Chain A
Amino acid sequence: NAGVTQTPKFRILKIGQSMTLQCAQDMNHNYMYWYRQDPGMGLKLIYYSVGAGITDKGEVPNGYNVSRSTTEDFPLRLELAAPSQTSVYFCASSFEDRAVYGYTFGSGTRLTVV
């Protein structure tokens, strides 16, 4: 039972480079989320999706893009990486009506922009 799988686990990017953080879940969850966690801070919502083809902005969407072409996958795209995007990124998923029972999180991607 894989749950939520994130790749890569670690990445160093140079300023101005682009990359895609991958997230896949095998639980048939309709809701998926991307969070970032900066040192000493709580998790902040970047984007979320309530189903295939539907995405919406969270609290800190600037500098990111997402797509949801399938129920299973929810990639996060960073264009023109900046040092302010150095963070740990977590993908999560849930059934919409069970969100109050908690999300299932991936193990995170630690990104450093230099």
Chain B
Amino acid sequence: DQQVKQNSPSLSVQEGRISILNCDYTNSMFDYFLWYKKYPAEGPTFLISISSIKDKNEDGRFTVFLNKSAKHLSLHIVPSQPGDSAVYFCAARNTGNQFYFGTGTSLTVIP
């Protein structure tokens, strides 16, 4: 039972344009959401997070939006750069301090 879903396995974007990665969840009790970035043969690295009491968090080129009514979050990368090419995972925390991960979206930024 996948509580966190990333329905797009892959995404291709031109360099300089916006990348939008989406994530849906089913558990309304999740209180924190995180995005991780993963390069091949490496472990995931933390990118940005958002609390369920907020609807937006921004860090440089990365912005995460949370729509609680739709149980949906998205990661915006503007402008996209070739070095952003990686697999992006969203993760959500339940009240038991356990994180559930999505299946990942592979982003390719085309120079």
Contacts and interface: CB of A to CB of B under 8 A. Distances in A.
Interface of A: 4, 35, 40-45, 48, 58-59, 90, 92, 96, 99-108
Contacts of B101: 35, 42-44
Interface stretch (B14-22, B43-51, B64-72, B73-81): B43-51
Interface of B: 2, 4, 6, 9, 32, 34, 36, 41-47, 49, 51, 89, 91, 93, 97-104
Main secondary structure of the interface of B (DSSP, over half): strand
B1 to A, nearest CB: 10
Nearest to B34: A102
20 contacts: A4-B43, A40-B9, A40-B103, A42-B89, A42-B104, A43-B44, A43-B101, A45-B99, A59-B98, A92-B43, A99-B97, A99-B99, A100-B51, A102-B45, A102-B46, A103-B44, A103-B99, A105-B43, A108-B41, A108-B43
A59 to B, nearest CB: 8
Nearest to A43: B101
B43 A106 contact: yes
